[in-house]
Amino acid sequence: MRKGQNNKDLELKLMCKILFREMGYNTHYEIKLRTKSYIDQIKTHDISDIDVFGCTFFQDLTYHCLGSECKSGESNALDELYKFIGVVDYFGIDKGYFIKSKIHQNARQVSSKRKLSCYTEAELRKLLIGFGYDVDKQVKIENAIYHRLNQAIKSQETIYERLVNYVCYDFWNKENWRNVHNIIHLLSKNIQQKLFPENDLNKKIFFFYISELFSIATLKNLYMSTFESFSDIERSIKNQLYGGGESLSEKQKIYDIVNQATNQDLSFSPPWELDYIDMSSRFSNNTSSSSRIPHFFQELREESFYANKVQIKQKSLKKFDDVTRKFAQDMLHFLTKYTTIGKEIFQDIIDL
């Protein structure tokens, strides 16, 4: 839980998460927004955050995201709304949701001109009841899921500090192509090559979450590749892995110059590149099924972990077609091949 957060703020976030999930979005809490200053020395600053973030890929892999600001209290709605409008613009959120215990009419008028939705707690509850939810019961379930993920991440801080910092902070603020490279790099350098007890569920939840983030980065990369050239998708995937064709060309030139200067013949491409391109290319053959991979990972992470075991239920599996499940398994095989994550971490999914 974020420091200083009260129970009412958290309850509003949990209800907003239920809404976003019901609308078909992969959901994440408390996304930090960071920037760098270059005066005297480079420093990173946390400038704001998004209380609940939702993202999804449509069937053609078009990426769409939502963000919310959830505040208790009955005053300062307009000031808080103006701040949130700035966050929405800065982060490139497609639609924002402003949720507060009480919202005055002037705040609603401002939000209507910015395509933001405003809901009081009572209005949000009414909306969720209309979706068929027992709101109080579902909030308790979501509260347990929220704390379980936070506990899992916190439990790994001393073991995988750089990896935890990256997925909690840097992932949401880096260029997407860097996320692909950096996650593979960090998984390769920061994972101990040894088995861990089968009952170490915190570690499993942590790596399930990382696989979820990696799937988002991979699909965003593929989404940009289809824009560049769907008919020559493999070339486009490689270009987007380096920030675009022009950026790739510049990086290759610099690499060649360094090789010449040091009299070396080092490969420019990482060892995983060809398999990554092949995997992404297969995803492009069925964009509808591949678009559901992040939802598949989130469903299993939230619905399959119990106090002392992992139990993947048919109810969860029936929400996804066989191709989505196969693509998710392909991604896990890729990660266990090119990083030092042991297969036993994902064995529950691999054995499906």
State how far the Cα of 248 lies from the Cα of 245, in Å rounded to an integer.
5
Q: Which pLDDT score, from 0 to 100, does residue 6 have?
A: 74
Q: Do 29 and 146 touch, CB atoms closer than 8 A? A: yes
Could you tell me which CATH class the domain 7-132 is placed in? alpha beta
DSSP state of 195: -
Q: Which of 32, 292, 78, 50 lies closest to 173 in space, CA to CA?
A: 32
Q: Which pLDDT score, from 0 to 100, does residue 39 have?
A: 53
CA dihedral 216, 219, 221, 227 (to 10 degrees): -140
Q: Which pLDDT score, from 0 to 100, does residue 260 have?
A: 81
Give me 333's structure tokens. 């095989």
How many angstroms separate the Cα of 190 from the Cα of each of 58, 161, 234, 248? 33, 8, 30, 27
Q: Which pLDDT score, from 0 to 100, does residue 36 have?
A: 58
Q: Which of 305, 340, 4, 306 lies closest to 163 in space, CA to CA?
A: 340
Which residues, in sequence order, are bridge partners of residue 67?
Answer: 53, 96
Q: Which pLDDT score, from 0 to 100, does residue 190 have?
A: 56
Amino acid at 252: Q
* Residue boundaries of the structural domains of the chain: 7-132, 156-350
How many angstroms separate the Cα of 104 from the Cα of each of 67, 85, 87, 329? 21, 16, 21, 49
User: Residue written as tokens 């027992």?
Assistant: 134
Question: Coil, strand or helix: which one is 212?
Answer: helix
pLDDT tens digits for range 231-256: 999 999 999 999 998 988 888 888 88
Low-confidence ranges of the chain (pLDDT < 50): 1-4, 193-198
State how far the Cα of 196 lies from the Cα of 173, in Å rounded to an integer.
31
Give me 315's structure tokens. 């109810």
Neighbour order of strands in the sheet with 116-120: 26-37, 43-57, 63-71, 95-100, 116-120
Q: Which of 271, 266, 240, 279 lies closest to 339 in space, CA to CA?
A: 271
User: Residue written as tokens 């078909």?
Assistant: 24
How many angstroms separate the Cα of 293 from the Cα of each of 57, 188, 219, 241, 341? 10, 22, 9, 19, 20
Question: Coil, strand or helix: which one is 141?
Answer: helix
pTM equals 0.90
**93: enclosing H helix or E strand:** none
Q: Which of 39, 33, 36, 31 lies closest to 13 in space, CA to CA?
A: 31
